[in-house]
Amino acid sequence: MITYWLDYDWVPDSRTEKLMMEAFGRMVEERERGVAGYYHLPEDSKLLETEVKAWMASNPVLPRCDTIVLIGIGGSSLGTRAVDSMLRHGTENVKRFVFLENPDPVDISEKLSTIRKEKTLFIVVSKSGTTIETISLFKTVIDRFDLDLKGTDRSRVLVITDEGSPLCRFADDHELKAYTIPENVGGRFSVLSAVGIVPLTIAGYDTCGILQGASDMVTRFFERREKHIEKKAAFMATHWERYRMNVLFAYATFLEEFSGWYVHLWGESLGKIDAEGMHVGPTPIGRIGAVDQHSFLQLVMEGPRDKTVTFMKVVDFENDLKIPSLTLENIENADYINTHTFNELINAECDATLQSMVEKKIPVDLIALDRMTPANVGELIVYYELLTSMTGAMLDIDIYTQPGLERGKTILINKFEKDR
């Protein structure tokens, strides 16, 4: 179960209420017309999960594999990384992930040195099938491990891409197993498609539970039973010129990868030029408590009042590690926390920091997960996707494109073409 709480000291006026209704209607239309396919993924991917398990049972190399190397970048890997990080500590017998994403030669070399071919399944993920970082890393893996893609290693490589993409054609030519991404699902909204469900299922996670949690949230939202999403989106969309940043302050180290996924989803979707030529979109910032209480918090509390803050905590870490009942000479003033659990400490820090911001009248909201379960993870993913769509609809922008990225890609291609 997840609890949501808002403290914005703000009530939408009649004009904003009208905008909220129009934005909700736009999302209903997107869902019905198939403009954005992510609305249907929680149900559609249940069949996919069944198909993956059948493939796993017939794959001859998988019983010997304890590692999955996922080759992808951005939306092709961030969601899977986030789910793996959030659920790994509470899931038994899951396979190790190695994520090959960034074209950083030191990072690549270090990760490759940890991989044993005979113990590894390689998964290549690229929606377009031409992502330069991903294809370059795929070539490196083929060369480094001498992969025979027309023979003995065919069962060791799996492809996830768009139907008919160059990577899909490559897979067909080499008779590699391929799963496709729905055409109307963008990369940053794709974690509940084959992009995330296939590798997470193979790794041993309860993807059925993830999908059910997501499906339940989608149902409740379109039945207007999650009105807090509409109010939060309305505040973000109507106050972004004053509050130009939203800080996700997540109180668990294993939520750091989720923060990265949120920054990607929010930034690429909402950073746009609107119909009037105005550059819009609140900037997403991911921070981890309690670590960043000792740095970034000062800026929030006494710096420019241009930020909203979302607190995220896990009520029960299902870990009873305690602070020992020890008294250290000269630092006895720290004894007040003795015998309490670290679970109590980190959540008390979250609550105290939140209260201090409420007292300063900084707009805050809280997302409290009772535990870190597959269903809660699925709900959390869809919560942020719906919030992003609702905010974009109220800003009257197309959140499913990313034209700002294209010029850089063109310059990169021209540079290397010139050097050939």
| Token pair recorded at residue 287 | 């921070």
Residue 126 has what pLDDT? 96
Whether 310 has a pLDDT exceeding 90, the answer reads yes
| Token pair recorded at residue 396 | 């009257």
Amino acid, single-letter form, for residue 412: L
| Token pair recorded at residue 141 | 């893996």
Domains of the chain: 2-32+210-400 (3.40.50.10490), 36-205 (3.40.50.10490)
Whether 392 has a pLDDT exceeding 90, the answer reads yes
Q: Mean per-residue pLDDT for 248-258?
A: 97
Residue 9 has what pLDDT? 85
Whether 136 has a pLDDT exceeding 90, the answer reads yes
Query: 231 an active-site residue?
Result: no
Question: pLDDT category, 274, cuts 50, 70, 90?
Answer: confident
Question: pLDDT category, 316, cuts 50, 70, 90?
Answer: very high
Question: pLDDT category, 415, cuts 50, 70, 90?
Answer: low
Whether 404 has a pLDDT exceeding 90, the answer reads no
Question: pLDDT category, 406, cuts 50, 70, 90?
Answer: low
Residue 354 has what pLDDT? 96
Whether 59 has a pLDDT exceeding 80, the answer reads yes
Residue 324 has what pLDDT? 95
Which are the contacts of 289, defined by CB distance < 8 A and separation ≥ 6? 249, 250, 251, 311, 346, 349, 350, 353
Question: pLDDT category, 230, cuts 50, 70, 90?
Answer: very high
Q: Are 313 and 3 in contact (CB under 8 A)?
A: no
- pLDDT digits over 1-26, tens only? 999 999 998 999 999 999 999 999 99
For CA atoms 152, 158, 164, 165, give the dihedral sign.
negative
pLDDT more than 90, % of the chain: 89
Distance CA 380, CA 281 (A): 21
- pLDDT digits over 65-92, tens only? 999 999 999 999 999 999 999 999 999 9
Question: pLDDT category, 273, cuts 50, 70, 90?
Answer: confident
Q: Mean per-residue pLDDT for 293-299?
A: 92
Q: Mean per-residue pLDDT for 311-318?
A: 97
Residue 277 has what pLDDT? 82
Whether 418 has a pLDDT exceeding 70, the answer reads no
Write out the DSSP string of 365-406: EEEEESS--HHHHHHHHHHHHHHHHHHHHHHT--TT--GGGH
pTM of the model: 0.94
Q: Mean per-residue pLDDT for 283-307?
A: 94
- pLDDT digits over 90-118, tens only? 999 999 999 999 999 999 999 999 999 99
Distance CA 227, CA 24 (A): 11
Active-site choice (118, 276, 279, 294): 294
- Tell me how far CA of residue 250 lies from CA of 281, 306, 360, 378, in angstroms: 21, 19, 20, 17
Residue 278 has what pLDDT? 81
Residue 414 has what pLDDT? 67
Residues in the chain, overall count: 420
Chain center to CA of 203: 17
- Alpha helices (runs of H) in 204-271, residue ranges in sequence order: 207-222, 227-239, 256-270
Low-confidence winner among 162-176, 186-200, 229-243, 270-284 (lowest mean pLDDT): 270-284
Query: 409 an active-site residue?
Result: yes
Question: pLDDT category, 407, cuts 50, 70, 90?
Answer: low
Distance CA 28, CA 42 (A): 16
Quote the crossing angle between the two packed helices 227-239 and 374-395, to the nearest 10°: 40
Question: pLDDT category, 411, cuts 50, 70, 90?
Answer: low
Whether 200 has a pLDDT exceeding 70, the answer reads yes
Active-site choice (268, 307, 313, 379): 268
Whether 405 has a pLDDT exceeding 60, the answer reads no
Query: 349 an active-site residue?
Result: no
Distance CA 176, CA 150 (A): 9
Residue 419 has what pLDDT? 62
- Tell me how far CA of residue 28 lies from CA of 37, 152, 218, 242, 307, in angstroms: 12, 48, 11, 29, 30
Write down the mean pLDDT value for the chain: 94
